[in-house]
Amino acid sequence: MDALPPRLTPEEEGSFQYLRIKDQTPPILTKAIDALHRHKSEFFEKHGEEGTEAEKKAISLLSKLRNELQTDKPFLPLTDNSADTDVWNQYLEYHHSLLNENNKKIVLWGNKCDLALSPDESIPETSSPVVTLEDLQLFILVDNMDHVWSLLINRKKMRQETFPVTRVDFIMDNAGFELVADLVMADFLLASKLATEIHFHGKSIPWFVSNTIKKDMDWVIEQLKAANTKCMSDCGINWEHYLKHTWIYQDHMFWTLPHEYCTMSQVSPDLYAELQKSNLILFKGDLNYRKLVGDRKWKLTVPFHQALNGFHPAPLCSIRTVKTEALVGLAHGQGRHVAGIDPQWRTSGKFGVFQFDGSL
């Protein structure tokens, strides 16, 4: 196999990763601190002095982290007793060793020269997604959804003879509107008999604050059940029923580990084996895409299959709005064309892809 391209890192001044760490993350932490201050009385009312002390400790830790980011302090090993602490510390130690190796090279070549002389905001979702679909079609850079439908339709046609079960897995991204859209999609797949069971893979903790956890699914369903509109309350009742039968929710520590997905079969073979049972895996969102392709400086024209770097547990499709620079599978010249439309197209979130890998 050809050598892998270098990773996208914040080392390059002006890059998306650099600006994310330097300019975007500290204000996000400030907003989180302000939110804790505003809800101080609620913590006391619900949890007493213990809640007040927890709020103070959280503010202290967030303030410390903000200062460390702004002053370019090194990442220190984690000291809590969480299940993934050792994994993160080993990963951190590994990257420190790489940094030390680079420092050795800098010292070596320096010597040669000498010899030579991103919470607490609400985002309104008031526009109709249906009305804007036609306009958004122009911004889809790769559209392999026909492969997805072909796979599911073929299995449906052959179900009685060959495929009694069609399992679709959602590797979930964000709560809120996106979560509701995922649940509607899952409902449609069952109602149309394109799938017989749905598996949802959430996170044990949010990788980003908006990532879906089990509590988010439960909350959405309870809100729908309590809605005054009958079609919404019926939807909530139906989805609650599905969660007891044909919808299966599960989380796994791997989704919040630092590893890219091509390492899953070695790092978490149980999860890889579980995904191998699927007939179609839908990876949602930018973060999942980045971990699928390893967050590397791939050429835009590198095939999606190649960028997966051996990660092929089952047919899969990445459904992703382009918000970071990691991207593959474009046609020759397509990147230049899109850059002419929007110079910030790789980080603006205006463009999207449906990229499929697997046999039909």
Q: Cα 239 to chain center, whole Å?
A: 24
Name the β-bridge partners of 321: 352
Contact assessment for residue 265 and residue 272, using Cβ atoms and an 8 Å cutoff? yes
Contact assessment for residue 328 and residue 303, using Cβ atoms and an 8 Å cutoff? yes
pLDDT digits 0-9 by tens, 57-87 = 999 999 999 998 888 888 888 888 899 999 9
Contact assessment for residue 51 and residue 41, using Cβ atoms and an 8 Å cutoff? no
pLDDT digits 0-9 by tens, 164-217 = 899 999 999 999 989 999 999 999 999 999 999 999 999 999 888 889 999 999
> Cα(329)–Cα(316) distance, rounded to whole angstroms?
15
Q: What is the pLDDT along the chain (360 residues), one digit of tens a residue?
A: 567 898 888 888 888 888 888 888 999 999 999 999 999 999 989 999 999 999 999 999 999 999 988 888 888 888 888 999 999 988 888 877 776 555 544 444 345 444 443 344 444 555 555 445 556 777 899 999 999 999 999 999 887 677 789 999 999 999 998 999 999 999 999 999 999 999 999 999 988 888 999 999 999 999 999 999 999 999 999 999 999 999 999 999 999 999 999 999 999 999 999 999 999 999 999 999 999 999 999 999 999 999 999 999 999 999 999 999 999 999 999 999 999 999 999 998 889 999 999 997
Rounded to 5°, angle at Cα 359 from 355 and 360 = 90
pTM: 0.85
Provide the residue ranges of all domains of the chain, joining segments of one domain with +: 16-115, 129-357
CATH topology of domain 129-357: Rossmann fold (3.40.50)
Half-sphere exposure of 29 (CA within 13 A, CB side): 20
Edge-first strand order for the sheet with 280-284 is 140-143, 352-357, 316-321, 280-284, 167-171, 197-202, 247-251
> Cα(339)–Cα(333) distance, rounded to whole angstroms?
10
For the CA atoms of the chain, what is the radius of gyration?
A: 23
